[in-house]
Chains A and B, each alone.
Chain A
Amino acid sequence: MATPYAKLPAWVDFGLIPFINLLVAFIVAGMVVLLVGESPLHAATLMVKGAFGSGEGVGYTLFYATNFIFTGLAVAVAFHCGLFNIGGEGQAYIAGLGVAVPCLMLDSFLPWPVVFLVAILGSAAIGAAWAFIPAYLQARRGSHIVITTIMFNFIASSVMVYLLVGALKPKGSMAPQTRTFLEGGHLPKLDWLLELFGASIRSTPLNVTFLLALVASAVVWALVWRTKLGYEIRTLGFSPKAARYAGINEAKIIVITMMISGALAGMMALNPIMGDQHRLQLDFVTGAGFVGIAVALMGRSHPAGIIPAAILFGMLYQGGAEISFEMPNISRDMIVIIQGLVILFAGALEHMLRPTVSTLFASMKPSSMTVDGAVAGDN
């Protein structure tokens, strides 16, 4: 059979089904909250309020979302090539060097735009280089990219610990981190953007990297759907046989795609390092690389889906912090459970409810769907 289920209208496919998945995730999460002995309704109110209730909340939500947009795009680009880049975490972590080193070297005498530019290139280059090794091993040696990128997360982590307790640590300091950057290594905040919407701000970490993330989203869209390279990436992703038939150099495309993916993951490092903490710290990525997988899955590997998905996860992060602050019974780990449930239902079980929704739609309004030729026949 060609298509066991009829084609759904786009708004169902991209709107309703993700929404239902999300709803189910929250219902299950609510039950967990109930088990702990708190009111799920109260928790939900706290979460939404914490994330969007104040200018500050929005600022934090979008700050986290910035990280997830980058890592989500990174995973999405690799997905289009049929590659599962689990190494976003490590690529972003090691790319912290590409941000911190230019800042440390240039912050005393250059203005932030110049340092920013160098840091963008630096983080992208180092992220790409870190992704290059697993990509090369996959393309030339057939080592599975899932395994190698996971391994490279550990290597990145160890390398960074080594550097942060050694070469990068200022002499005499006890903390495993670099010195704080001077003015040239600070990115401007986007408080004015929030104030535009009438929010009054105390202080949020939201900075220009958010705008860079939006630009990156547009670039990724154009790259995947409008360039020859994107065409080759998608062909290879959908059908390696068709790619070989079309004369597409498989190894080359795998390596290029992974390097683009790594570069995107690497640029995530700009946000916390240059935008917020103004120094390179241990574990600054805090799982954003892995959240990127969920964001890409939920956003269907399309920038237009990734941005809202990233904001949703930003909300979970920010609102979750709020809940654990207000409800002592609900620890930080509970928030991770809720995030896990969202990932489970929106990502891994994405297809669980689809058949039901399809059937429901087919029976409800059969006229709303177009007949796409004789699909349901033999073959």
Chain B
Amino acid sequence: MSETAIELIGINKSFGAVHANRDIHLEVPRGTIHGIIGENGAGKSTLMSILYGFYQADSGEIRIDGKTVTIHTPNDAIAFGIGMVHQHFMLVENFTVLENVMLGAENAALLAGGISDARAELDRLEKEYGLEVDPDAVIEELPVGLQQRVEILKALYRGAEILILDEPTGVLTPAEANHLFRILRQLKEQGKTIVLITHKLREIMAVTDNVSVMRQGTMVATRKTAETTVEELAELMVGRRVLLRVEKGEANPGDVMLSVEGLTVRDSRGVTMVDDVSFNVRAGEIVGIAGVAGNGQSQLIEAITGIRKALSGTALLDGQPIGVTGSADPNELRGRGMAHVPEDRHHMGLVLPFEEYENSILGYHDDKRYISGPFLDMDAIRDDARVKIGKYDIRPDNCRLKTANFSGGNQQKIVLAREMERDPSVLVVAQPTRGVDVGAIEFIHKRIIEMRDQGKAVLLVSVELDEIRSLSDRILVMFAGRVVGERTPEATEGELGLLMAGVESQEAAE
């Protein structure tokens, strides 16, 4: 057995003219946790996809345990002992844990024999690695943290010696993330090799032994985690010095611009997603809503912005009713000074096949400025788009380019430019920096603070606790559709984390 679990030598991969991986060298010693960090589009996922057999490298060599291998499909990768835990779980929601684990590895046409073998093996794995999950629980009834555990078990069941985790903490509470890190350390002690892909610097510092930084398709550096700092890694990722702290002054809260009272929202299945939520946002302050994804934040925002009907409750925009239970119309609310940066930029905030300038008027397309007679005034729209491109430094600076061809950060800037340049009085921003690179995060945060300082009321929803803490003037925590607490930004991460996990929800409800 070689001391090096994975060795990549001179890996190249292009998609057309886009050089996604350029001459990549990587060595991962056996029994270590190796972090791979980089901005969106840096080529991390491409590299791991090559290792896992989704793509073929154009050139280069892969060595597993010192032996040169060719990996054509994920099945090959599994045969070489490589397992992958995807960012979006690949689980059959209405199957049990056991059924999911053995899916694709049934080993016989009839299930009966396979099931008892699988049960015994799963039992052994759970004991050995401390990964307790009820094998008969149905996936959709398990919390996200446990679902992820099932993904890990799936990989181990297939004999994985090398585990690749792609952005594993995106859906976890801080407590769940810590638990995951404990599991990873334990797996390491058992001799497994772990590759952790992330863009979160703190995770790298917390759990890895070594870290490699990717930028624009190349591997720019590999460091021992103990010998590096967050600042150095950020600089390596972006290629310049980055301000990680957000600079902001005191808030000057004015009148209540947005007030929500007893808002209850049910989804299409009749499940209560937002449960009797009340709060208000004043001019000149940022109210942050923290919470793990899926605790009703999306539905809350959609109700306030008129996209989704609420069951009951009221909401006022600058003292006038929004009509959340019936008449709300996103278009009319826009006219009354509400701007909305939606969390789902790809499907809601933008129409990806559109050219950039077409997206720069989405929702404002019946504005008199953009219309002449029955036609859209193309010149006016494009001129306007070009101005915004300049002001928000959107790259490439071409308003005729398809929106899908912009990077995540630039796509987000397109949305922000559209919503912020309308001088709204209330700005609702959801997940402003999801999938956005570090350089753009800095810019976006600055703009949000600027909006506040201009006296706008800002409602910020984010699953990134750091973002909430550094931007907000007040923090509301949502859990299971309820606001379970209000804190100041000085609240510790632990305190907020407990609230997010619903631990204090009993007391808060009283």
Contact = CB atoms under 8 A, between A and B. Distances in A.
Contacts, number: 151
A227 interface: yes
Contact of B362 (A6, A235, A376, A379): A235
A373 B410 contact: yes
Residue among B342, B362, B404 facing the most chain A CB atoms (10 A cut-off): B362
Residue among B18, B329, B333 facing the most chain A CB atoms (10 A cut-off): B18
Contact of A228 (B330, B347, B376): B376
A231 B365 contact: yes
A3 B45 CA distance: 13
A17 to B, nearest CB: 15
A222 B401 contact: no
Given A241-B347, A245-B363, A379 B15 contact: no
B407 A374 contact: yes
Contact of B351 (A242, A370, A374, A376): A242
Contacts of A373: 41, 395-396, 405-407, 410
A1 B55 CA distance: 11
Contacts of B340: 245
* A interface: dominant SS: loop
A227 B378 CA distance: 10
Contacts of B509: none
A378 B365 contact: no
A15 to B, nearest CB: 19
A186 interface: no
B350 interface: yes
A4 interface: yes
Interface stretch (B113-121, B183-191, B352-360): B352-360
Contacts of A377: 20, 40-46, 217, 407
B462 interface: no
A349 interface: no
Contacts of B406: 373
Contact of A6 (B17, B351, B354): B17
A222 B305 CA distance: 32
A228 B305 CA distance: 22
Contact of B330 (A4, A226, A246): A246
Interface string B10-38: 00001111101000000000000000000
The 7 closest A-B pairs by CB, nearest first: A6-B16, A247-B331, A377-B41, A374-B41, A372-B405, A376-B15, A247-B330
Given A1-B45, A375-B41, 4 more contacts: A227-B376, A242-B348, A374-B407, A376-B15
Interface of A: 1-7, 222, 226-228, 231-232, 234-235, 238-239, 241-242, 244-248, 358, 361-362, 366-367, 369-379
Interface of B: 14-18, 20, 40-46, 49, 216-217, 305-307, 329-334, 340, 342, 344, 347-354, 358, 361-363, 365-366, 371, 374-376, 378, 395-396, 401-402, 404-408, 410, 435
